[in-house]
Amino acid sequence: MDIVYIRGLQVETVIGIYDWEREIRQTVCIDLDLGTDIRTAAHADDIDSTLNYKSIADRLITFISGSEFLLIEALAEEIATLLMDEFSVPWLRLQLGKPGAVPEARDVGIIIERGEKR
């Protein structure tokens, strides 16, 4: 299995459980590994034969910036479902961070894996 990745994608959204968090936009940061097979794209030198990280990033920015989740866990699950359904990703590893949520830490968040490696 090959991996197309995106690192450090930052998107502003409404996220959090506290009343004050529901009234502001906060930055979430995404690191993403997407399982795929790049051989066809490499042989054909054709973007339509692979996962287009620009299209994926644009879709995530649109989705996340328009969302209003309480928990990053819920946001992570919805991102995983979106990627697997809309981009036919068989496996992914997603790190979703909420920098600034704990002032004493550079970042806090979760890491999930979904699907099966082929």
Three-state DSSP class for residue 50: coil
Q: What is the largest CA-CA distance in the chain?
A: 52
- Using an 8 Å Cβ cutoff, are 102 and 64 in contact? no
Measured between alpha carbons, how far is 67 from 56 in angstroms, rounded to an integer? Answer: 16
At position 1, the amino acid (one-letter code) is M
Told to judge if 98 belongs to the known catalytic residues of this protein, a careful annotator would answer yes
Q: Which of 98, 100, 111, 112 is catalytic?
A: 98
- Give the residue numbers annotated as catalytic, written as ranges: 98
